[in-house]
Amino acid sequence: MQGGEVLLSSSALDTDGTVEKDEWKQLEGTTVVLRDKDSASASFLAPYVPESEVLKFSLTVTDDDGSSSTDEVSITLKAGNLAPTVIADVPLEIEEREILLLSATANDEDGEVVSFLWEHISGPFDTIRDSQQLQASMSVPPLTDETPDHTMVLKITVTDDKGATAFDTVSVKVIDVINRRPECRSRRKSRDIRGRSFHT
C-alpha cells in the first residue's frame, strides 16, 4: 500500500558465539529509504508504483568471529493510484436571471477521469443542466425577500478509472438587479400666480 510501512524482520542464531552485526541492503526495485538497516528488523515506506513491482533486499549477519551469512527476501508492491485533480472555473459574480456557465479542468496522472458531478451546496438554486459533464450550466433564479443568502456555493466531484475522487468548490455572488431601489428625482419649478411665487 502506497505510504504504508513495510517491515523486514529476521532471526539469526550463532551456535558457537553471538551475532554482532546485522546489515540490510536493497538489491533491486524502486529505491526506498531503509530505517534501522543495521538491526535485525528494518522497515521502509512503500513508494508509489504505477505497475506491480518486486523489491529485493539482502540481510548479512556477522558473528563475533567475523564469519558472515547472507539471505535475501523479495517484497511485491501492488500498483498504486494517484488521485485525480480538479479546478472549477466559474465566475465569482453573476446577475440574477442570467445563465451561469460551469466549467472545470480535471486531470489524472496515472489514468483517466471517468465521471463528473456538479452539485448545489447552498444559496439560490435552480436545476443544473448537464450536471454529469465537465461543462454544465444553470439559470440563476431571481432573488426574493425570502432569499437570506445571495451567494451560491457549488461543488464539482471527479472520479478516476480506479475509483479515487477529488472535488473543488466555488462561491458565486448573485447580484440583485430586479429589486434595486428606484431613484427619485424632482425638478424644481416656479410659477407666479396673482403676484405670488410658488415653488414645486
Comparing CA positions, the residue from 108, 86, 103, 102 lying closest to residue 157 is 86
Q: What is the pLDDT of residue 13?
A: 76
Q: What is the pLDDT of residue 197?
A: 47
Distance CA 159, CA 34 (A): 34
Cα-based distances in Å from 168 to 22, 86, 103: 49, 6, 11
Query: Where do we find the cell 473543488?
Result: 168
Q: How many CA within 13 A on the CB side of residue 194? A: 0
Tens-level pLDDT at each residue, the chain (200 residues): 566 889 998 887 777 778 888 999 999 999 999 999 999 899 999 988 888 899 999 999 998 888 889 999 999 998 878 889 999 999 999 998 999 999 999 999 888 999 999 999 988 888 999 999 999 999 998 887 776 568 999 999 999 998 999 999 999 999 887 655 555 555 555 455 455 544 55
Comparing CA positions, the residue from 128, 134, 129, 50 lying closest to residue 86 is 134
What residue ranges define each of the domains in the chain, with the CATH number in brackets? 4-77 (2.60.40.10), 85-175 (2.60.40.10)
Distance CA 138, CA 94 (A): 12
Give every CB contact of residue 32 below 8 A, 6+ residues apart in sequence.
Answer: 26, 44, 45, 46, 47, 55
Q: Give the global pTM.
A: 0.60
